[in-house]
Amino acid sequence: MDPVLNPYSPGAGRKPAALVGRDHPRSNWTVALDRVEIGRSAQPFVLYGLRGVGKTVLLSDFRRAAVDREWLVAQVEAGAGKSLREALGEALHASLADLARPSAGRRLIKALKTALSFKASYDPAGTWNFGLDLSGASGGGADTGVLETDLRKLIHDLAAAAEEEGVGLAILIDEAQDLKPSERVAICAIAHAAAQDDWRVLFALAGLPSLPRVLAEAKSYAERFNYEKIEELRGSLASDALTKPAAEDGVGWEESAVELIVGESAGYPYFLQQFGQDTWNAAAGPRITYDDARVGAANGRAALDSGFFRARWDRATRAEQGYLRAMAEDGDNGSSSGEIAARLGRSAASLGPIRASLIGKGLVYAPEHGVIAFTVPGMAGFIARQPGQ
């Protein structure tokens, strides 16, 4: 069938044609937006799960919902070459520029001046021009160089400006496990203060399964945040992710074809999109058959091996790949650190730096003490398909 019309879209953070199985967190986010708009507090959202389950897609859906209400919105990715200070500052500029006008109220004018001082805190040579004379306005002071102090001042003033405009402020952070310790502490502390005093701000963080733990370690009260574990799609939900996009174009799936792709993908949304795309391209149509699905599954697996999995495997050093191979013997269910050490003929302590490096690269995580697991579903199978050392 025509690849131009292909409704499936594998890729990091790409919104699928049918966003199924996420009604609960989406509904909760809508309620939180409503609460903030009437002056009630809402706990920060924390979306966590393995790679490929759709956390970024859901976080971006949260952003669009806030944008549709004309909120001030900033969505950033931690650990992407910028500090949180710089990333948030730059992400907020467009929303602020859209609101700047001669008739701006007192609190918006104050927020604009505070934003200018925050900009100066990480880019003294840079300038923003909102087209307004802010020389006599109150505000500023978000340039002490202390992240928590500056960010608290910025978010407080922006939330007050949002209230004046009849909207709210949304701060969304992807890959939040990669925040620096000081950044995690600052976000948790500010979110706590905002909830205590009913600031018009809503936070959402997304990250790997380790995220709840690292947030709780940053601030104990982070345990009371709104945690949503994002998992693979099961049963009819996985089937709907395949059949609904095709049905929009008048294309049906044979039941056996759906069963094959759902099984091959294990219900992971990224894999469903990849296999769905390759099956569509292999099919003559107007109905997708079991044979089409077999070809699509094979092509999809090759695409994942050469891209999704390969990119992560190649980030590991030879020593780290040896550690990952030892893990792969246990499949995707997690491995005992002691058992891995025994397989490699090393002491667990001597392997500590390798383990820490793999965690730092986001390839593995520690679901519990003494256990290590892959952050990517299907990684064990990929490793098993690789040539030996």
Please give the pLDDT value at position 11.
81
Q: Note whether residue 17 is domain-resident.
A: no
pLDDT attached to residue 369: 87
- Is residue 241 over pLDDT 60? yes
Residue 273 has pLDDT above 90, yes or no: yes
Task: Provide the terminal-to-terminal Cα distance of the chain, rounded to the nearest Å.
Answer: 41
Q: Tell me the torsion sign for CA atoms 98, 26, 43, 270.
A: negative
Per-residue tokens: 358: 């793999």
Residue 358 lies in a domain: yes
* Residues whose CB falls within 8 Å of the CB of residue 279, separated by 6 or more in sequence, listed in order: 257, 261, 288, 292, 293, 295, 296, 297, 300
Q: Which domain holds residue 356?
A: 315-384
Q: What is the pLDDT of residues 369-387, one digit of tens each?
A: 899 999 999 999 999 998 8
Task: Give 284-309 pLDDT, tens digit per residue.
Answer: 989 999 999 999 999 999 999 999 99
| Averaged pLDDT of the chain | 94
pLDDT at res. 389? 57
174 and 258 co-located in one domain: no
171 and 202 part of one domain: yes
pLDDT tens per residue across span 58-84: 999 999 999 999 999 999 999 888 999
Q: Is 380 within the bounds of a domain? A: yes
Cα gap 126→120, rounded to integer Å: 7
Say if residue 131 is in the same domain as residue 253: no
User: What percentage of the chain has pLDDT greater than the value 70?
Assistant: 99
For residues 175 and 80, the answer to whether their CB atoms sit within 8 Å is yes
Closest CA to 118 of 138, 94, 88, 95: 88
Q: What is the pLDDT of residues 117-158, one digit of tens each?
A: 999 999 988 778 888 888 878 889 999 999 999 999 999 999
Domain tally for the chain? Answer: 3
The residue-averaged pLDDT of 221-225 equals 91
From 265, 283, 312, give the residue that closes a domain: 312
Which of these, 294, 270, 288, 355, lies nearest to 320 by C-alpha position?
355
Q: Give just the sign of the alpha carbon dihedral 247, 250, 255, 261.
A: negative
Q: According to the model, what pLDDT value does residue 14 have?
A: 85
In a domain, 379, yes or no: yes
Same structural domain, 207 and 176: yes
In whole angstroms, what is the distance from residue 280 CA to residue 100 CA? 47
Tell me, what's the pLDDT at 13? Answer: 81
Domain end (from 287, 312, 337): 312
Look at residue 356 and tell me if it is in a domain.
Answer: yes
Q: What CATH number is attached to the domain comprising 333?
A: 1.10.10.10
C-alpha separations of 45 from 60, 153, 170, 185, 223 in Å = 13, 21, 11, 16, 11
Q: What is the pLDDT of residue 214?
A: 92
User: Do 365 and 254 lie in a common domain?
Assistant: no
350 pLDDT more than 90: yes
Determine the pLDDT at residue 285.
Answer: 82
Considering 208, 229, 250, which residue would you say is the last residue of a domain?
229
Residue 233 pLDDT > 60: yes
121 plus 32 within the same structural domain: yes
